[in-house]
Amino acid sequence: MAKIPCSVNMFYKMTELAEKYGISVYEVHATILRDGLEKLGFTCDHKGRKLRSSKKGTSIYCSRCWRFFDKKYRATPKAGEKWEYYTPRKTFLDLMKEEKELKDKEADPMGGLQLDKRGGE
Ligand SMILES: [Zn+2]
């Protein structure tokens, strides 16, 4: 059977992205959906009892927007603060953006600046 190029079918493309970044197709799906909805006005503060952990306890996610979080610990918590806090995990879209910026920087290390070749001589 001939292999269908990933650009033809969006589900193949999602599978390709999931394999590349080591995440589930569902996470690719949810990330793209959330990103699109945020552009249309969807917001989530991830506060209250929205943060939950997976059955195995390895992942923490927001039950409203399905964003994953990393658990971190404060070295010296102030009065009223908890030891642990949560920061949003980078999505594959963030990683893709970073990869693109790095690629652009390598292609153009001067950041668009060019030497003025008119003077001298
Ligand atoms: Zn949320």
Instruction: Render pLDDT for 56-113 as a digit per residue (tens, 0 to 9).
Output: 877 899 989 999 999 889 888 888 888 888 899 999 999 999 999 999 888 887 776 7
* Within a domain: 27: yes
* Within a domain: 2: no
End-to-end Cα separation, the chain, in angstroms: 65
* Within a domain: 47: yes
* Within a domain: 121: no
* pLDDT of the residue at 91: 94
* Within a domain: 116: no
**Structural domain range at position 68:** 10-107
pLDDT in tens, 29-59: 999 999 999 999 999 988 877 888 888 877 8
* pLDDT of the residue at 43: 93
Ligand 1 midpoint to CA 99 (Å): 25
* pLDDT of the residue at 92: 95
Could you tell me which of 47, 72, 84 has the C-alpha nearest to residue 62?
A: 47
Instruction: Tell me which long-range contacts 5-12 makes (C-beta under 8 A, separation of at least 24).
Output: none
* Within a domain: 115: no
* Within a domain: 59: yes
Ligand 1 midpoint to CA 96 (Å): 21
